Amino acid sequence: MYDVIIIGCGIVGASTAYELSKYQLKTLVLEAEDDISLGQTKANSAIMHAGYDPEPGTLMAKLNVEGAELCKELCQKLSVHYHQIGSLVVAFAEDELPTLQELLERGQQNGVKDLRIIDQAELREMEPNLSQEALAALWAPTAAVINPWELCIALGETAVVNGVELSLNQRVQNIEAITGGYRITTETDSFETRFVFNAAGVHSDLIHNLVAEPSFKITPNRGEYFLLDKSEGNVVNTVVFQCPSKVGKGVLVSPTVYGNLIVGPNSEAVPTEELDTGLDTANTAAGMEQVAELAKRSVPDLNLRQSIRNFSGVRANSTASDFIIQEAAPGFIDLAGIKSPGLTSAPAIAKYGINLLEEAVGEQFVEKAGFIDERQHVIFQNLTLAEKNQLIKEQPDYGRVICRCETITEGEIRAAAHSPIPPVSVDGIKRRCNTGMGRCQGGFCGPRVVEILADELGVSPLDIYQDRRGSFILEAATKEAEVTEHA
Ligand SMILES: Cc1cc2nc3c(=O)[nH]c(=O)nc-3n(C[C@H](O)[C@H](O)[C@H](O)COP(=O)(O)OP(=O)(O)OC[C@H]3O[C@@H](n4cnc5c(N)ncnc54)[C@H](O)[C@@H]3O)c2cc1C
C-alpha cells in the first residue's frame, strides 16, 4: 500500500510530489498522459504574478505571494530559466486610473513588495512602444517570466530522483474507500493508498465527485495566444497587462524567458463533462482576431506577421471564486480549481495541502536524510568556449548541432532521452531541451530528433509520436502508393 497517491502531474501535482519526496513516505503519482505537464501547465502566459490581483484574505492572495518567492528559489536551485522583468498594469483612459490605485492597495495588503504607480513620462521611458493613449501604470518589479513546463519537469524529476514513483498513461477512473485508505482504479491497474491528493486540474471536480458529494464544478475556459519570433522580443521590456475592466481582463504583451514575444490570451468557455473527454485546445480565427485587436490597444504597431506559433490553454476556472484546497473525504485532499495564478502559487499550494493533510489525519510526516535538492541540466549554448570544447572532447555528440534555431546539440537530446522522466515523443524532447522552439518550429530538426529518439528508444521511426499518444509523424509507404509515386 502506498502512503500517498497524487492524481495528476501538472505543476500542482509535481510541486506536491517534490515536497512529499522530502519525507519518509511511499508516494506514487498517477498521470493520464504519456508525459507530465500536458494540461494547463503546458499552455499559459508563463508569468510569475507579483500578487496584487487576488482579493486580500483569500487563499489565492496568500499562496500567490508565498508561491512567487518559492518559485524564484526553486528555479535557481533546479536550474530553470527565470527572468525577473517586472510587470505593468497600464491605464489607457482616465476612468481606468482608480483601478490602478485599487490594485496598488490590494497588493500592499497582500504583502507584495515595491509596488508603485508610475506616471506617463516614466512609463514612456520604460516602454517606448506603448500606445500614446497609455496614461499611467502600476509597476510590480517582483513579477517574472519562466518556462512553465521546465519548472514542472524539474520538480517532477527531483521528486523521482528522491524516490517518488511516477506512472504515466494511468487515467484514474474510479476510487473506492477501503479499510485504512482508498483503492484507485485506472484503465489498466489498481493501486491502494492511505492518502490521496487530487491535482487533476480541469478534471478535479470529477475526481472529487468519486469520493464526495459534488460541491463545486469546473467551468473550463480557453485562452488563445500568438508567439512571435525573437526579432519582436524587445518590443516591450516588461510584462504589459491592461487594466481589468467590466468587459474583461484584457490581454498581455510580454517577452518570454527565451526572448520571443507572447501575446494573449482571450477567454472562451469550453465544454467538458466526462473524465475521458479531451479538451478542445484548437485555435480559432475569431479568437485570434480578438487577441490581435485587444493587444494592439497596448502596442499599436505589433507585428503579428512575425507569429511563429499559435496555441491555446484551458483554464480550470470553477464555480468557487478561490482555490479549492480542502479535505474532501478522510485523508483525501482536493487541490482543485487551480486557475491563474496557479502556476505561481503551486509550490505554496503543495506545502499548504500537505500541512492540511497532516492536521486532518493527526500525523506529522518525518523528513528523510539525503534529500537531493538540485538538478544538473547542461545547456550547451550557455557554456563558455573552454567548457564547450572540453565537453565535446569528452562526449562528441555535443559537437553536433541538431536544432539550428536554438543551437541544441545531439548530446543534449540524448541526455534528455535519459533524464529521470524519459520523454517518449518529439515534443517531450522539446520540453526538456528546447529543440523546435525557434523560428522554424522543428521544420529542420524534427526529422533528426525522430531518428535520435527512435535510436534511444530502440524502436522504428514509424513508432515515434509528435506529442500525445497516437500522434504519429511517419507512415510506411504501401506498395501501391510507391508504385503510384514512381509512375
Ligand atoms: C490561458 C491560461 C493562462 C494562464 N496564465 C497563468 C500565468 O501567467 N501565471 C500563473 O501563475 N498561472 C497562469 N495560469 C494558471 C496555471 O496555468 C494553472 O493554474 C496551473 O497550471 C494549474 O496546474 P494544475 O497542476 O492544477 O493543472 P494541470 O496542469 O491541468 O494538470 C492536471 C493534470 O492532471 C491530469 N489528469 C486529469 N485527469 C486525470 C485523471 N483522471 N487521472 C490521472 N491524471 C489526470 C492531466 O493530464 C494533467 O496533467 C494560466 C492558465 C491558463 C489556461
Q: Looking at the DSSP assignment, which residues form a beta bridge with residue 184?
A: 175, 191
Q: Distances from the Cα of 369 to the Cαs of 17, 24, 150, 156, 339, in angstroms?
A: 17, 9, 26, 19, 34
The closest of 146, 124, 91, 101 to 343, measured between CA atoms, is 146
Judge if the beta carbon of residue 344 lies within 6 A of ligand 1.
yes
Measured distance CA(74)–CA(85) in Å, rounded: 17
Runs of H (alpha helix) within 162-270: 204-208
Mean pLDDT of the chain: 94
Burial class (CB in 10 A: 0-12, 13-18, 19+), 17: buried
- Chain center to CA of 235: 24
DSSP letter string, 142-184: T-EEE-HHHHHHHHHHHHHHTT-EEE-S--EEEEEEETTEEEE
Which atom number of ligand 1 is nearest to the Cα of residue 345?
11
The closest of 130, 131, 102, 128 to 117, measured between CA atoms, is 102
Measured distance CA(447)–CA(459) in Å, rounded: 15
Measured distance CA(196)–CA(151) in Å, rounded: 23
Q: Whose CA is nearest to atom 19 of ligand 1?
A: 342
- Residue 304 phi/psi, 5° resolution? -75, -10
Q: Whose CA is nearest to atom 18 of ligand 1?
A: 342
pLDDT in tens, 35-81: 999 999 999 999 999 999 999 999 999 999 999 999 999 999 999 99
Measured distance CA(246)–CA(459) in Å, rounded: 54
Judge if the beta carbon of residue 49 lies within 6 A of ligand 1.
yes
Which atom number of ligand 1 is nearest to the Cα of residue 221?
53
DSSP letter string, 18-29: HHHTTBS--EEE
pLDDT in tens, 94-137: 999 999 999 999 999 999 999 999 999 999 999 999 999 999 99
* CA torsion through residues 161, 164, 169, 171, sign: negative
- How sure is the predictor about 480, in pLDDT bands with cuts at 50, 70 and 90? low
Q: Grid cell 468587459 — which residue?
A: 247
The closest of 70, 127, 102 to 341, measured between CA atoms, is 70
Pocket test for ligand 1, best of 44, 152, 153 (most atoms within 8 A of CB): 44
Measured distance CA(55)–CA(324) in Å, rounded: 15
Provide the pLDDT for residue 245.
75
Which atom number of ligand 1 is nearest to the Cα of residue 173?
41
Q: Looking at the DSSP assignment, which residues form a beta bridge with residue 327?
A: 333
153 neighbors 263 (Cβ within 8 angstroms): no
Check if 49 is active-site.
yes
Judge if the beta carbon of residue 172 lies within 6 A of ligand 1.
yes
- Percent of the chain topping pLDDT 90: 91
From the CA of 174, how far away is ligand 1's center (Å)?
A: 21
CB atoms within 10 A of CB 269: 9
Provide the pLDDT for residue 247.
59
pTM of the full predicted structure?
Answer: 0.96
Q: Which of 49, 203, 208, 377 is catalytic?
A: 49
